[in-house]
Structure 1
Amino acid sequence: MTFGDSINTCFSKYADFKGRASRSEYWWWVLFTFLASIAISMVSHNVSGFFSLATLLPSLAVGARRLHDTDRSGWLQLLWMVPVIGWILLIVWLAQEGKESSRYASLEPATGPD
């Protein structure tokens, strides 16, 4: 999945927490939100805050779909609230290769190759 495809997919599945997301879809989205936040904050902090709020729901949705691809519950994103250990665990899980068979496999296959 390309950078543009990933952004289009994440915005089109704005609040879709079902299904799966490939590694490339997730990490391209993370890069997009990070770079856009930095660029927008150079212009205006108020607009940057609005952008962060506007992309919060799709970020949570793509994170849940990414965890589904590794056969984990999307609720595990709550580990972001546990400093250091939770962050490390989530980064490792989000970077892992998706599993062919998972309890979420019947919902929707991950889009595109990793």
Structure 2
Amino acid sequence: MGPLDAIKTCLAKSFQFKGRASRAEFWWFIALAWMAVTAATFADQILFPIGLGQKPGVPAYIIAPILPKPLTFLAAAIAIPASITVSVRRLHDAGMSGALVLISVLMMLGYGATYRWTFSATSVVSDDPFASVETLTSNFDVTADRLQTTSPFLRFASWLIMALQMAILLLCIRPSKLSLNKYGPNPNEVPQ
């Protein structure tokens, strides 16, 4: 399977967890999706230097953008469902359950929620340009307290998520089961 076939197949099966995906389909799609999201991120940096939810003149570390930049958001919104499903189908092809991908996604969502909660005090900086320094500093004190509490958890969680992602990546390298398995026929033997 070539790169264009992989893109077409993965986008067409963006919400289909059943079946199997060949190694070529998986690797071509993951590589091209990664390149598309990276290109969108660079384009966003040029076209939209100020993120959505960020005010001009206010450093990004003070007010965290609520949404990522638009092109990156669009590219990721298209690539993420297809990446998840092709990963599940790739594990099916190697004869394994796709539950590992679900566990990984849930861990990343939990990490993101914890990270957002930790730094949410800095994103509620007053819209009032004449807000007192005490108001702004109290927000940073809340964040410092939260960071001190959640920092070990965030470090541990990030290492755990990276280890799980590496394990899934290594499992996706495994060759296809040569015959029919409980997830369907070998995709290398079935015309697409």
Contact 2:21 2:89 in 1 (8 A): yes
Contact 1:19 1:109 in 2 (8 A): no
Name the structure 1 match of 2:182. Answer: 103
TM-score, structure 2 length as denominator? 0.53
The answer to whether the aligner puts 1:35 opposite 2:35 as a matched pair is yes
1:57-114: CA deviations, max 9, x gaps?
111111110000011111111246433331221111001101124321xx3431479x
Name the structure 1 match of 2:79. Answer: 55
Contact 1:64 1:74 in 2 (8 A): yes
Task: Give the direction of change, closer, same or farther, for the CA distance of 1:93–1:38 in structure 2 (3 Å limit).
Answer: same
Q: How does 1:8-87 map onto structure 2 within 5 Å?
A: 8-44=8-44, 45-77=69-101, 78-79=103-104, 81=107, 82-87=160-165
Task: Give the direction of change, closer, same or farther, for the CA distance of 1:84–1:58 in structure 2 (3 Å limit).
Answer: closer
The Cα of 1:55 is off from its aligned counterpart by 1.8
Structure 1 residue ranges without an equivalent (≥5): none
**Number of equivalences:** 111
SS in 2 for 1:41: helix
What CA distance in whole angstroms lies between the structure 1 residues aligned with 2:39 and 2:162?
A: 27
Name the structure 1 match of 2:123. Answer: none
Structure 2 residue ranges without an equivalent (≥5): 45-68, 108-159
What CA distance in whole angstroms lies between the structure 1 residues aligned with 2:189 and 2:3?
A: 12
What CA distance in whole angstroms lies between the structure 1 residues aligned with 2:100 and 2:162?
A: 15
Name the structure 1 match of 2:66. Answer: none
Moved over 4 A (4+): none
Q: Which has more radius of gyration?
A: 2
* Structure with larger RCO (C-alpha < 8 A, sep 6+): 1
Q: Once the two structures are aligned, what percentage of the paired residues are identical? A: 29
The Cα of 1:14 is off from its aligned counterpart by 1.8
TM-score, structure 1 length as denominator? 0.86
Contact 2:6 2:28 in 1 (8 A): yes
Contact 2:176 2:186 in 1 (8 A): no
Q: Which amino acid aligns with 1:56?
A: I
CA RMSD for the aligned pairs? Answer: 1.9
SS in 1 for 2:19: coil
